[in-house]
Amino acid sequence: MTSLPLTRSGVQAQRSAGGRVPVRANPWPGRLSRVARLYGPLALYGLFTLIPFYWMLVFAFRPAGSDRPVPWPLSFANFDTVWNGVGFSTFFLNSVLVAVSVMIATTFVAVAAGYALARFRFRGKGVFVLVLLCTQFVPGAMLLIPLFVIFKQIALINNLGSLIVIDTVFQIPLAAMLMSTFIRGIPFELEEAAMLDGCSRLQAFRATILPLMQPALVAVGSFAFIGAWNNFLFALMFISRQDRFTIPVGLSYTLGQYNIDFGALAAGGVVAAVPVVAVFAVVQRYLVQGLSAGAVKG
Amino acid sequence: MTLTAPVPAPVRPAPTRRPRRRGWSPYLLIAPTVVLIAAFLLYPIGSVFYYSLQNYNVTQPYDDGFAGLANFRHMFTADPLFWQSLRTTVIWVVAQVVLQLLLGLLLALIVNERFKARGFVRALVFSPWAVSGVLATGIWVLLYNPTTGAAHALSLMGIGSGDTAVLSQPTSAFIAVIVAELWRGVPFFAILILADLQSVPADLYEAANTDGAGRWQRFRYVTLPHLRGAIVLTCLLRAVWEFNNVDLIYTMTGGGPANETTTLPLYVARQALTDFNFGYGSALTVVSFLILLVFSVVFLRVTKYNAGRD
């Protein structure tokens, strides 16, 4: 036990002699505690996060019958099975159609509502905001039955239109509040100046606000895309024709097989993950501000 | 230069932040939102209450009609699965919110420190947030399955027997579902807490340092009080969302084995998706709504959320 303080002071002396005066008195215990406090837990959590992803990649890219812990030699047989055999090429197109439509529709509707909230005072505004906030508590799963009845009445069952509509509806409240927070942060004087120069309100908006809104547009659009891409229950309830399936439904049918083809399941998972991961890579910079501005600060 | 046209003087005497403008513009702008929310959220919620008083079974249309409170009577007196699913829901929500809060708080504190490649590491540990419930199921089924999973891999290395069928035992299946959802849910908590951590004024920490506060004291007396509001609201939102979380459990266990993992919303979803008993499903929905409402009010009261605000 006595050797430890000696080593400490020894290192300290060395450091001081080198001309760089350490801020902390004991650099080594400091570094050790940094490992225990920071890198250790981070590595553990990183493993918890990454092992499941890695497992999926191994099973997706490994040839059938292989028991190796690495996907080598690379094999694309599983992707051929899901893409051409199971029909993921169709599911993928359907999902892209739904997610892109939801992204565009949500962005337009949310910009309009967000602008109204940020720039106008009007009767009923308080109620409107309250309803937007309360929708955060409305569970999609609970509305399966009445929504099914509605979509049956307007003949949108087995139609991707039903998914576009309902996914947009569930994205709008958060998106509108996010937009409103963002627009409120842009000085009104910019628009005012443009309007004094003879622009109409819409022209002023396009000339001054729209260029500044790019981060908010990217964030809202990406959240909407991810939400729509991942939606499962509505697609399961409203779509029963296999050529209209979206990716999550297709994936759930792969899961539901009596003898699950695990290679195909993993490859399907990779197909489902790639677009979301790509969008996430773009949007994660805005995630921290975005979610808190929309969901917590209201 | 007298040619310059007289510029109309601004009507506003002093520049106000927001212009007071009456007229139709704001209503036109919020019209799409209002129409969509009214038609596809508010109207369906109302109709759930109506359907809950009906016999409404798609497979038995000849029995359809007004039922009064029969659905509710059946639920409370003759349906043990309702009570069982209620109990499962409570355990599920409490376990998820408590564990996600603790792990999310730790994760946020860790990635709030300075270290190399912090942005990349953050993106990496937050990435399960973007994964859908079904995909999470797909990934974790691979890990849980006795022939493809972690237990099998460990047994190849000589650890354990490798024949653990995690998802076929009630208790282990429940734990397995909880772990899979934690994997997906912790990043959300961490993201929201991290956002709030970044807004703690630096001079508060400096003041604490001057007073000789240690790491734990800084956390206890500066960070935690600052995070309180965000934590309370995130817990509430998360409790509601986890209550309603169906995708992952539905695809991973389907509510089994022996209905041990059937939560109330999952029970509702099964009524809608496989039993087509819309009347009874709606009655279960109404009860779920009321539970959520009471829970939210009580939660906000108990945590004195408004008192903590300036």
Region at A202 (left for phi over 0; alpha for psi -120 to 50; beta for the rest): alpha
Q: Which residues pair with B66 in a beta bridge?
A: B54
What's the pLDDT tens digit per position in B183-239? 999 998 898 888 888 878 888 888 888 888 888 888 888 888 888 888 888 888 889
DSSP state of A294: I
Mean pLDDT of A173-200: 87
Asked whether B194 and B226 are in contact (CB, 8 A), the reply is no
What's the pLDDT tens digit per position in A198-253? 888 888 888 888 888 888 888 889 889 999 999 999 999 899 898 999 999 999 98
Contact between chains at A262 and B247 (C-beta distance less than 8 A): no
**B198's tokens:** 């970044």
- In the block, tokens 């007396």 appear at B221
In the prediction, which pLDDT does B42 show?
Answer: 92
Contact between chains at A146 and B134 (C-beta distance less than 8 A): no
Q: Which amino acid is at A101?
A: S
Q: Which strand (E) or helix (H) includes residue B2?
A: none
- Residues of chain A positioned with their CB less than 8 A from the CB of B19: 119-120, 188
Q: Is the pLDDT of residue B126 over 80?
A: yes
Best mean pLDDT range from A190-194, B155-159, B181-185: B181-185
Chain B residues 67-106 with CB within 8 Å of chain A = 103, 106
Mean pLDDT of B24-37: 91
> Hey, where are the domains in chain A?
81-296
CB within 8 A of B279, min separation 6: which ones?
A: B51, B52, B54, B55, B56, B57, B64, B67, B71
Asked whether B124 and A52 are in contact (CB, 8 A), the reply is no
What's the pLDDT tens digit per position in A40-73? 889 999 999 999 999 899 988 988 777 777 777 7
Phi, psi of A267 (to 5 degrees): -65, -40
DSSP state of B66: E
Range from A37-46, A133-142, B14-23, B73-82 carrying the lowest mean pLDDT: B14-23
B27 touches chain A (CB under 8 A): yes
What's the pLDDT tens digit per position in B257-305? 888 889 988 998 888 888 888 889 899 999 998 998 898 888 888 877 6
- The CA distance from A116 to the nearest CA of chain B, in Å, is 5
Mean pLDDT of B171-175: 88
Is residue B77 classed exposed, middle or buried when 0-12, 13-18 and 19+ CB atoms within 10 A define those classes?
A: exposed
Asked whether A295 and A174 are in contact (CB, 8 A), the reply is yes
In the prediction, which pLDDT does A188 show?
Answer: 86
Q: Is the pLDDT of residue A104 over 60?
A: yes
- Residues of chain A positioned with their CB less than 8 A from the CB of B270: none
Q: Which residues pair with B55 in a beta bridge?
A: B65
What's the pLDDT tens digit per position in B80-100? 899 999 999 999 999 999 999
B38 touches chain A (CB under 8 A): no
What's the pLDDT tens digit per position in A267-295? 999 999 999 988 888 787 776 655 555 44
Give CA A197 to chain center in angstroms: 40
Decide: helix, strand or coil at residue B9. Answer: coil
Domains of chain B, CATH where assigned: 41-78+277-310 (no CATH), 82-276 (1.10.3720.10)
Q: Is the pLDDT of residue B2 over 70?
A: no
**B74's tokens:** 């059946």
Mean pLDDT of A167-175: 91
**A200's tokens:** 């109409």
Q: Is the pLDDT of residue A97 over 90?
A: yes
In the prediction, which pLDDT does A250 show?
Answer: 92
Chain B residue at shortest CA distance from A224: B130
Asked whether B226 and B248 are in contact (CB, 8 A), the reply is no
In the prediction, which pLDDT does B226 show?
Answer: 86
d(CA A122, CA B25): 10
Q: Is the pLDDT of residue B30 over 60?
A: yes
Mean pLDDT of A123-143: 85
In the prediction, which pLDDT does A102 show?
Answer: 96
Asked whether A280 and A167 are in contact (CB, 8 A), the reply is no
In the prediction, which pLDDT does B83 show?
Answer: 92
Q: What DSSP line would sit under A36-102, residue for residue?
A: IIIIHHHHHHHHHHHHHHHHHHHHHHSPTT---SS--S---HHHHIIIIII-HHHHHHHHHHHHHHH
Percent of all residues in chain A with a pLDDT value above 90, rounded to a whole number: 34
End-to-end CA distance of chain A: 56
Phi, psi of B250 (to 5 degrees): -60, -45
d(CA A192, CA A209): 11
Q: Which residues pair with B277 in a beta bridge?
A: B57
Decide: helix, strand or coil at residue A243. Answer: helix
Superfamily designation of domain A81-296: MetI-like (1.10.3720.10)
In the prediction, which pLDDT does A296 show?
Answer: 39
